[in-house]
Amino acid sequence: MPEGDILRLVSAQLDEALAGRVLVRSELRWPSAAEIDLTGRTVVDNVAYGKHLFTRFDDGWSLHTHLRMEGSWRVARTGTRDARGVEPNVRVVLANEWWTAVGNRIGMLHVLRTPDERLVVGPLGPDVLGDDFPEAGLAEAVARMRADDAAGGSGPRHRPGREATGVPVAEALLDQHLVAGIGTIYTAESLFAERLYPWTAVRDVEDLEGLLLTARRLMQRTVRHGFDPRAGVVRLVHGRTRKACHVCGTPIAEGTANEPPYDRPIFWCPSCQSPPGGR
């Protein structure tokens, strides 16, 4: 699933193509929005919050999209083959005179009043890539994670007895209601960077602030440089099952966070990230 860094890149790409320009084509291939025509509206900006994207218009309305697991956006010159948007999995087409944005396999779509964006992001935790995260969001995210751990998790993550054992830190990082924007990639990479065993209980992680700031730093690096290995944007553990750890040579292991159907793969180095107390 695309994470917060990808949404920041997408929002910047859409801004460059659409912001300040009038739509001459609008197709929302979504049952609840198929009759809505955005043609004639001017795009004000595109804003990412966690894994959510809001395209705002000059009449006080917004298009909310979420990429889910397989969604993506592409931008093409209006009138070219890539701008046709005729593929069966296309869900959104927004075009101005110069550029066309095509949303493929979009997983969620709503048209709502711009002030009502808060109804979407309100239940979420602070955006780890938000401008104010270090000053305000960080403390709130840590407080949410600590409270969730004390309660043994919430919703599908709550299981009997967890009040005593605590919530694994990998599962807490993945929960968008605690901190928004982190997915499987940066859960694995930030835990590796901090040499933390993924199933360490949140209550046993002494420096949650440092862990969250590490996740933010790694994601910001991708936002700045894209996926450029020359800038140090590489995956050290994620997706590297059985390959040698870059630090110690131990084969990378793969485990699972959360119970089905919410389970997600987690990658870690058994040597660099050994369990607390050697358990």
Which residues are designated catalytic?
2-3, 51, 264
Residue 44, classed as helix, strand or coil, is strand
How distant is the alpha carbon of residue 180 from its chain centre?
A: 7
Q: Which residues of 140-152 are buried (b: 16+ CB within 10 A; e: fewer)?
A: ebbebbbebbeeb
The answer to whether residues 152 and 179 touch, using CB atoms and an 8 Å cutoff, is: no
Residue 129, classed as helix, strand or coil, is coil
User: What's the rounded Cα separation, in Å, for the pair 127 and 192?
Assistant: 21
Q: What is the dihedral of CA 156, 158, 159, 165, to 10 degrees?
A: 140
Tokens of 246: 């870059």
- Greatest Cα-to-Cα distance within the chain, rounded to the nearest angstrom: 63
Tokens of 209: 């602030």
How distant is the alpha carbon of residue 38 from its chain centre?
A: 26
A 10 A CB-CB count for 22 gives: 13
Tokens of 95: 């075009």
User: What's the rounded Cα separation, in Å, for the pair 21 and 29?
Assistant: 22
A 10 A CB-CB count for 6 gives: 23
The answer to whether residues 255 and 184 touch, using CB atoms and an 8 Å cutoff, is: no
Q: Which amino acid is at 153?
A: G
